[in-house]
Amino acid sequence: MNFLRKVAITGTKGLVPRNGGTVALRHSSHFVYQPDAKPPVEGPTQKMNMFQAINQAMDLALEQNESALVFGEDVAFGGVFRCSMGLQKKYGKERVFNTPLCEQGIAGFAIGVANTGAQAIAEMQFADYIFPAFDQIVNEAAKYRYRSGNLYDCGSLTFRAPCGAVGHGACYHSQSPEAYFAHTPGLKVVVPRGPNKAKGLLLACVRDNDPCIVFEPKTLYRAAEEEVPIAAFESPIGQADVLRAGTDVTLVGWGTQIHVLQEVATMAKQQLDVSCEVIDLVSILPWDKETICNSVKKTGRVLIAHEAPLTNGFGAELAATIQEECFLHLESPVLRVTGWDTPFPHVFEPFYIPDKHRCLAGIRKLIDY
């Protein structure tokens, strides 16, 4: 690639001096993190990144309930993302411990201890590796209450799983599998956008009466920093957050994608004079139909963006419901901007993810319809 080609792709800000010349750098982060405007509850706060907020949430869970357990692959020394760092030293090997490399076994054990009344926090090292545990989660955990006629349940069972694009993860460390589990009655599925949501959602899941999955966008573990309340608090499951009010287009996303959409909303206002309402869905199952539909009825246009592939991604469920509930209010068809229907690529990741440029082009399409 020649020098002018590098400039065209990266811009001059992507060029750095090296060995008497210039070299184009590839910026792996496709978003600019947007912290929450204020903490979710009153009281003392501490600046934390997302893995620190998750660590504190598990610390509080272990402190407040003697039955709480934290386990998974490598969690004893802190885990690959350091989320459980220091917990075994504080609470002992009987409450924070490693498991074999067997996701099916991790899930089966988690279901068993939760059924006895313990609070089980099980880590799947990557969401990509949760599939060997799929049968245990979908056919056992999700159905335990139903098939026993409410005599038994495995509530207080939480699976944590790092998910999503990270810049270099390729097909086995970048997937977003939320739609697989959203098809399962009996589960609850949430995706935090930053430290405050990660802490609040994790504590809400740990205390919930149904089994929960927290998909944690791994690229946010260190990129996301906020002032986080030190005390325990819960973020409601099933409630979306309107992060930015608007009148012309509704933008819906979750996890890392919400930061892309917030930047896109600013670009749309500056370049197109289009006012966008940005909504973080937060909870995949159950999801907040009322908030989404009320927004779409107001704006008449909606763009849904997620990293998972287009076909049967969770955006399809949103689109179908919006079409049913808001049809007479729509000024244009529901538009989805997503990952492509291919395995998640490595070197071609920048072309796969629904970045700000693809989303802005989608807004143009909605307005021009």
The catalytic residues are: 103, 173
Answer positive or negative: Cα dihedral of 176, 177, 182, 188: negative
CA distance 67 to 174: 33
SS3 103: helix
Which residue(s) pair with 23 in the sheet? 16
- 337 DSSP 8-state letter: E
**DSSP line for 168-195:** S-GGGS----HHHHHT-TT-EEE--SSH
**DSSP line for 282-333:** -EEES--HHHHHHHHHHHS-EEEEEEEESTT-HHHHHHHHHHHHHGGG-SS-
φ/ψ of residue 336, rounded to 5? -115, 135
CA end-to-end span of the chain, whole Å? 38
Which residues have CB under 8 Å from 289's CB, separation 6+?
321, 325
Residue 62 contacts residue 91 (beta carbons within 8 Å): yes
Torsion, Cα 277 282 284 288, to 10 degrees, reads -60
